[in-house]
Amino acid sequence: MKAYLSRRYHFSASHRLHTEAYDDARNREIYGKCNNPHGHGHNYIVQVTFSGQVDPVTGMIFDLAELDAFAQTSLIDRFAHTNLNALDCFANHVSTTENLSIEVHRIFAGFPAAHLEKVHIEETSNNSFEYAGDAKLLRGTL
């Protein structure tokens, strides 16, 4: 019997939306206040959704403690209280939440206990992003 499990994680981080492909004026035009040279921060809410078979003995898809440990080392320890622009995964990509969603999906796709269905990230109360994977993008890293 297949079931779905979603789990939420929270972290705070800063970033600046800016691309070297544009001059400063075009960056301000495209990204507006998010192009502030000093950056700005968000309290991100990441929700990961997995699917899998319900174990007839435990009644669970997998042990949540395993997922929490994976999330702590692979997500929270890596992203919390950082400037996203300083991370290797954003060295060649703008640190938009769309790109963050792709990176978080890549990370949780490595969780071995179940199949990752999608990642949902709330950036603000008005902005949220989902990524369910793209075979072409997942071959490399963001």
- Residues taking part in catalysis: 34, 81, 123
For residue 61, with 0-12 CB atoms within 10 Å meaning exposed, 13-18 middle and 19 or more buried, which class applies? buried
What's at 59, amino acid-wise?
G
Residue 1: CB atoms within 10 A of its CB come to 8
Per the listing, tokens 């600046």 go with 16
What's at 25, amino acid-wise?
A
How many whole angstroms separate alpha carbon 126 and alpha carbon 28? 21
